[in-house]
Structure 1
Amino acid sequence: MDRYGEPLALWLREPGHVLVVGYGKSGAAAARLLAGRGFRVTVTDRGDKPETDEGIKALAGHGVQFVFGGHPPELLHRPWQFVVKSPGIPYTVPFIEQLAAKGVPIFSEIEVASWFTERPIYAITGSNGKTTTTTLVSEMLRAAGRLPFVGGNIGTPFAEAVLEEQTDEPVVLEVSSFQLMGTWRFRPRGAALLNFYPAHLDYHGTFEAYQEAKWKMFSNMEQGDIAVLNADQDLVAGGASRLRADVHYFSVDHVRFAFGVGVEDEDIVIVERGEVRRLLPIAEVALPGRHNLQNVVAAAALAQAAGASDEAIRQVAATFQGVEHRLEFVRELHGVRYYNDSKATNPDAARQALRSFAHGIVWIAGGLDRGLSFDSLLPELRGRVKAAVCLGQTREALRNTCQRAGVEQIELASSLDEAVQRAHRLAEPGDTVLLSPACASWDMFSSFEVRGSMFKEAVHRL
C-alpha cells in the first residue's frame, strides 16, 4: 500500500508548510527547492545563526523562515505537511522522535528531490568505495559523451540538480544509509550495492538495521531496472532474491553469472547472457589495490547498465587516478611517499588501504571512538607496518592492536600535525607514510575532508 500516495498528490497540488531540520548543504538545497515550488518553508538548526551567509539572505528572499539556536517546542505544534531531516541527525533525537510520534512524515533530501525530476538516477551505496565508484561511473558516462550530474552524499546535493535541470542527462548519486532511511518513493534506474561492513552502529543501533537501510535503495525498483550486486560478498549477493529489479553482478574473482563485470585470466571482462568479452588487462588499471579493482568492476557494471560503451569504460579504467582523500598520493620527500586516505573511516577501509602496500608502512591512525573492534586489521599490520602513530579517542585501542600485531615502533600524538612530524622521523627512504585512520574524524575535525586537507598541509610543510 502506498502510504503517502494521496498526501503527495495533495502536497504537490496545494503546497503547505514544511519544516527542514538542519541547515547544512542538503537542508539548504531542500529549502531552496521547496520554496521555489510554492511550499512555505521553515528551517530549524541547533547551531547559532551564521554572522554572514548569503544563502540565508537568498532563502529569506523566497519567504523561508529560520529558527537557530535550538528546536523550540512550538515547532512541534504547527501543521507541517512533512519534514525534511538532514541525514546526520539521528532519528533518536527527541525533537525528531516527537515529530514522528505526531505522525508527521519525515523524509531525506534525496527523497524529496526525486519527486521533481524525470532524469534517470544511478545510485551507489555500500560501506566502502562509494565515492570512488560514483566518480568512476560519472567519468565513464562522460567518456561516452553524456553530461551526468554527480553528487548526493558527495559534493552537491541532489536537490541542486533538480533546481537547475533543463536536461534529461543522467544523475549519478552516492547515497548513504542515513539518506536512504528517509526514502519512500526514491527509485533509481540502476543501483549498485558494493559491500557491507560494520559502520555507523551508533546511528543505526545494529548491523542488521544498517544493512536494511542500504537495501531500501532497491525498494521501488522493478523489472527492467538494474541492480548491481557484489558477487564476492555473501551478505550482498545473498540478497538478490529479495529484489524485483534485474540483477547484474560484479566480481574480482570469477564470472559465474549471466550479466555483469568480472575477472578472468587476469583480464576484466563483461558478461552478457553468459557470453564473455574482454575489456582490458588488470595490469592496465590505473588505480592501485584490490579494493580499487573492486570499485572499477562495480563502476563498469553500473556504467554499462547506464549505456556507456566498452571503449568509454576501458578508457576511464586505464586512466582514472583516484579522488581526493581516497588513497591520494600527496608527495615524495627524501625517498618517502606520503598518502592521504582520510576517507578510511572504519577498520575495513583502512585494511584495504594497508593491503595496497607490501611493506615499509608508517601508519597514522585513530579518531572517533565508536566502539568498533580493530582485530580485522591484525593480518594486514603484521609484516606490512613497521611503525605506527596513533591519535584521537581510539589511540590507546589502536596502540594495543599494533602491539598485538608485533609493530615495533608505536608512538602517540595529540594532534595531526604532531603525528605527521613523528611519522616523518620514523620513515626511511623507500617507506610509505599512510594516513588511513580506521575511524571517523568527528573527535578532532568537522569532516574527513578537513582531516585530509590538514594532513596534506602538514606534509607539505615538512
Structure 2
Amino acid sequence: MNFRDKQIIVLGLAKSGTAVAKILQKLGAKVIVNDAKPEEQCKGKNELESLGIKVICGSHPDDLISYETDLVIKNPGIPYHIPPIQTALSLQIPVITEVEVAYQLSKAPFIGITGSNGKTTTTTLIGEIIEQAGLNPIVAGNIGTVVSEQAFLANENQVLVTELSSFQLKGTQSFRPKIGVIINIYPAHLDYHKSMEDYILSKAKLFQNQTPEDYAVLNVDCEECVKLIPSIKSQIFQFSKKYEVERGTYVSKGIIYWKDQERTESILPVSELSLKGEHNVENVLAAITATRLYGVDVEIIREVLRDFKGVEHRLEFVRTTPNQVTYYNDSKATNPTATITALKSFPQKVILIAGGLDRGIDFHELIEPFEQHVKELITFGQTAEKLSKVAKLAGLDRIYTVDNVDSAVELAARTAISGDVVLLSPACASWDMFSSFEERGRMFKEAVHKI
C-alpha cells in the first residue's frame, strides 16, 4: 500500500493512534487524528500538532469523513456503530486497524497469536524461546507495544511475535502471518462483536490470507477451533492435552511430545514446567508448536520451559504474609472462562476478589466453579450485584461488596486465616474503574504490600 498523498483519518489518540499517525506522516500521507474525548484528556495532541498533524478532540465532526477520504484507521476498541465509521463504510472507504498498516510496512515476517485466554503468556513465551535461539524477535501488539511502530523499524532478519485481539484482527484485510496460532475460542467481547459468529470470524482472519507456504497452529481440544479447519489453506499443525496429534504437539502419560512428518521427539515431562496450572499446559503446547515450526532446536525450547515463570497480572504470585495468607494477581482474567481456569489452579477453596465492567452477561457459568472453589467472595465495580447473586445461587454465605480494590484487600486480610489464598481474578474487563487491567493489577499488588 502506498500511503503518499493519501487522505487518512486516524480515529483514537491512544498509543496506537499516535504512533501510526506519526508513521503515516513520515510516509507522506495527509493525516487527521480525531478523538471524542475532551481536549484536556487528549494526551499526545500537542506532540502531533507540533509535527504538523491536525488533531480534533471533543467530538466526531459530521464532515470528518468524505469522498476525499482514502482510508480510516481506527483504534481497535472503537466500536463499528459510531457515525464516522458507518459513514466510511457507506462510502466504501476501507476501515482498518494499525495491525494492517504494520503488515503493509514490515520487512520482517509475523508470528500472530490470538485466543480468548492465554494470549499474553503464549506470546511472551514464544518471544523468550526465539530470543534464546538468537533469532531476533520483536514482541508487540495487544501485549502493550504498538505493532506498527515496531514493524516500521524491523528488518528482514527479525520476526514480529504479535499478540492479536479480535478487535485488532477484525480490522485487517491483507494481514498474513507466516505462523498463525489460535490458542482457544470461548465466548468473550460479545458486547463489541454482538454475536459469537462475528467474534469467531474475527479470530479466523488470522488465517484468511495464508497460503500453503504458511502454518496454522490450532488447539484441537477446542471445538470452535476444530470447526475452522476446513477453511484453512495453510499447513495445519495441531496441539492437544488429550490426544496424540498427526502433526504438532501433544501430551501422553505426562510427557510433552513434538511430532512432524519425520519424527516424534520427547520435549519434557509436564511436571518439569516452570509454569503451573492446567491452563498453562495449553499455552506451552501452542508455544512449542510455533517455535518448532520457526526452526528452534528442541534443547533450547526445553531450557526456556524449565525457567519461564509467566507474565505479570496472569496468576502472578504477589506475596505470602507472615500469617501464611498467599495473594495472587490475576487481573488479566477479563472474562468468566479465565476466572474459572484460575480457580481450578488451586487445591483449596479461595477468597475471590472479582468484578468490573458490565458487558451484559449473567455469569451463570460461574455457579458451579463458585460452589467448588470459592469460600468467600468480595465484589466491586459494575458487576458486583450480578456476581453476588451468582454466589448466592452457588450456596456461598460469605459475600461482600466494597467500593474499590484497596477495600477488597483490606477486607480479605481481616477475614483470611493461615493457609488461605486470596485471588484477584475479576472475570470482567477493567474499564469501569481503571484505565487497563494492568492498572487494576498494580493497585491490587500495592494494596497487598501495604498489609
Normalised by the length of structure 1, the TM-score is 0.94
Q: Please report how far the alpha carbon of residue 51 of structure 1 lies from its aligned counterpart in structure 2 after TM superposition.
A: 7.7
CA-to-aligned-CA distance 1:262-320 (integer Å, 9 cap, x gap) = 10110111011274211001001111110011111111111111222111211121111
The aligned counterpart of 1:5 is none
Matched residues in 2 for 1:76 and 1:188: separation?
A: 31
CA RMSD of aligned residues (A): 1.6
Per the alignment, residue 269 of structure 2 pairs with 281
- Alignment match of 1:242 (pick from 217, 231, 234): 231
**SS of 1:92 mapped into structure 2:** coil
Return the alpha-carbon distance in structure 2 between the equivalents of residues 220 and 51 of structure 1.
38
Does structure 1 residue 261 correspond to structure 2 residue 261?
no
- 1-side partners of 2:278 and 2:421: how far apart? 18
SS at match of 2:65: helix
- Is residue 2:292 matched to residue 1:304? yes
Letter aligned with residue 449 of structure 2? H
Equivalences for 1:205-220 in 2 at 5 Å? 205-220=194-209
In structure 2, give the amino acid aligned to 1:392: G
Alpha-carbon distance change, 274 to 355 in structure 1, aligned in 2, over 3 angstroms: farther
Query: Could you tell me how far apart the structure 2 residues matched to 1:50 and 1:390 are?
Result: 32
- The separation in 2 between residues aligned to 1:307 and 1:275, in whole angstroms, is 14
Task: After TM superposition, give the deviation of residue 79 of structure 1 in Å.
Answer: 1.1
Q: Which residue of 1 aligns with 2:22?
A: 32
Partner of 1:63: 52
1:60 Cα shift? Answer: 3.3
Q: How does 1:300-339 map to 2 (within 5 A)?
A: 300-333=288-321, 334-339=323-328
Q: Would you say the 8 A contact 2:106–2:155 is kept in 1?
A: no
How far apart are the structure 2 equivalents of 1:63 and 1:307? 45
Q: Provide runs of 4+ in structure 1 moved above 6 Å.
A: none
Question: Is the 1:82–1:105 contact (alpha carbons within 8 Å) kept by the matching residues of 2?
Answer: yes
**1:114-152 Cα distance to aligned partner (Å, 9 max, x none):** 111121100001111111110011001011112211111
SS of structure 2 residue aligned to 1:379:
helix
**Counterparts of 1:61 and 1:426, CA distance in 2:** 54
Equivalent residue for 2:126, pick from 137, 153, 176:
137
**Which one is further off, 167-176 or 341-350?**
167-176
What is aligned with 1:4? none
Contact 1:19–1:84 (Cα < 8 Å) also in 2: yes
Residue deviations 1:46-104 (CA, integer Å, cap 9, x gap): 11335895x54543344311111112122123611111111010001122111211221
Structure 2 letter corresponding to 1:343: K
Is the contact between residue 109 and residue 159 of structure 1 (CA under 8 Å) also seen in structure 2? yes
SS at match of 1:172: strand
* Partners of 2:158 and 2:115 in 1: CA distance: 24
Equivalences for residues 20-419 of structure 1 within 5 A: 20-50=10-40, 55-77=44-66, 79-255=68-244, 257-273=245-261, 275-333=263-321, 334-419=323-408
Map of 1:451 onto structure 2: 440
| Structure 1 residues 288 and 215, CA gap change in structure 2 (3 angstroms) | same
Aligned-partner Cα distance in 2 for 1:167–1:425: 56
Alignment: residue pair count = 450
Q: Secondary structure at the match of 1:364?
A: strand
- Secondary structure at the residue paired with 1:425? helix
Gaps of 5+ in 1: 1-7
The secondary structure found in structure 1 opposite 2:39 is: coil
Deviation for aligned residue 1:112: 1.1
Structure 2 unaligned residues grouped into runs of 5+: none
Give the deviation of 1:162 after TM superposition.
2.2
Change (3 A) 1:414 1:58: closer
How many Å separate the matches in 2 of 1:396 and 1:116? 47
Task: Assess, with a 3 A threshold, how the Cα gap between structure 1 residues 159 and 137 changes in structure 2: closer, same or farther.
Answer: same
**Equivalent residues of 1:253, 1:263 under 8 A apart:** yes
Structure 1 residues 233 and 299: alpha-carbon distance in aligned structure 2, compared to 1, 3 A threshold: same
